[in-house]
């Protein structure tokens, strides 16, 4: 398989397979999780639950008191790379073009130099959290295969995307193919790993807040 055939495959059948598995996986997991159900809580609520669910979604975005000082790399690095990924994925012009092509929606992009800078910062933050995870005995102890694996599949699309845009190292055709392939791998594993938090995190926070409110500890 030559370079152009490889690119054509990842842009064609490969993309089709990856997006299909992603769509299938996301719906499967969401359906599975939300259909688990909970027993009806027969006790009357201690207080009016109010907007406790929504408040929790917001509150949990902020670090608990003292934690930034205790674990600065996790918190600051975590914020930086999550925001960075969000900006890169949703505000880089070619990505918007792709979304527009698939679902017909489009919105304004950020200038490429801004995305360049964000990418560099994101890559640095991801490397920092990885080093912290390796160096910190407790974090290392708590880490299993899935943690290293999900870090890798998240990191590779950012790295290969940056190299492709900057034409670094390999021919553009190969880099673009590798970038698309790495994203396809990410799409395929996302619904079936911890990365699925991209879909579940807000739902579970809302649920937690709602339950706490019901039991008398609203936030």
Contacting residues toward other proteins, per CB under 8 A: 2-5, 7-8, 11-12, 15-16, 19-21, 23-32, 35-37, 93-94, 97-98, 101-102, 111-112, 171-173, 176
The whole-angstrom separation of Cα 108 and Cα 53 is: 32
Sorted by sequence, the CB contacts under 8 Å of residue 209 that are 6+ apart come out as 52, 53, 54, 55, 56, 57, 59, 218, 219
> What minimum distance in Å lies between the beta carbon of 86 and other proteins?
19
Q: Minimum Å distance from CB 210 to other proteins?
A: 21
Pairwise CA distance, residues 151 & 182, whole Å: 12
In the complex, what is the shortest distance from the CB of residue 33 to other proteins, in angstroms, rounded to a whole number?
9
- Pick the closer one to other proteins by CB: 26 or 130: 26
**Nearer Cβ to other proteins (125/190):** 190
CB of 175 to other proteins, least distance (A): 10
Ramachandran region of residue 167, left (φ > 0), alpha (ψ -120 to 50) or beta?
Answer: left
């Amino acid at each position: 398989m030559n370079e152009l055939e490889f690119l054509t495959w990842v842009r064609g059948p490969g993309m089709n397979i990856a997006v299909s598995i992603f769509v299938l996986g996301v719906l499967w997991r969401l359906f599975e999780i939300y259909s688990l159900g909970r027993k009806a809580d027969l006790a009357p609520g201690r207080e009016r639950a109010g907007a406790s669910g929504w408040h929790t979604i917001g509150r949990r975005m902020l670090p608990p008191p003292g934690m930034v000082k205790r674990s600065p790399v996790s918190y600051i690095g975590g914020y930086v790379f999550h925001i960075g990924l969000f900006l890169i994925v949703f505000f880089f012009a070619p990505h918007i073009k792709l979304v527009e092509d698939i679902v017909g929606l489009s919105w304004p992009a950020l200038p490429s130099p801004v995305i360049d800078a964000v990418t560099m910062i994101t890559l640095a933050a991801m490397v920092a959290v990885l080093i912290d995870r390796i160096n910190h005995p407790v974090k290392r102890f708590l880490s299993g295969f899935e943690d290293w694996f999900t870090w890798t599949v998240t990191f590779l699309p950012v790295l290969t995307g940056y190299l492709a845009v900057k034409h670094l190292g390999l021919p553009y055709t190969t880099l673009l193919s590798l970038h698309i392939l790495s994203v396809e791998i990410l799409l395929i594993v996302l619904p079936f790993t911890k990365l699925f938090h991209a879909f579940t995190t807000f739902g579970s926070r809302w649920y937690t807040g709602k339950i706490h409110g019901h039991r008398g500890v609203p936030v």
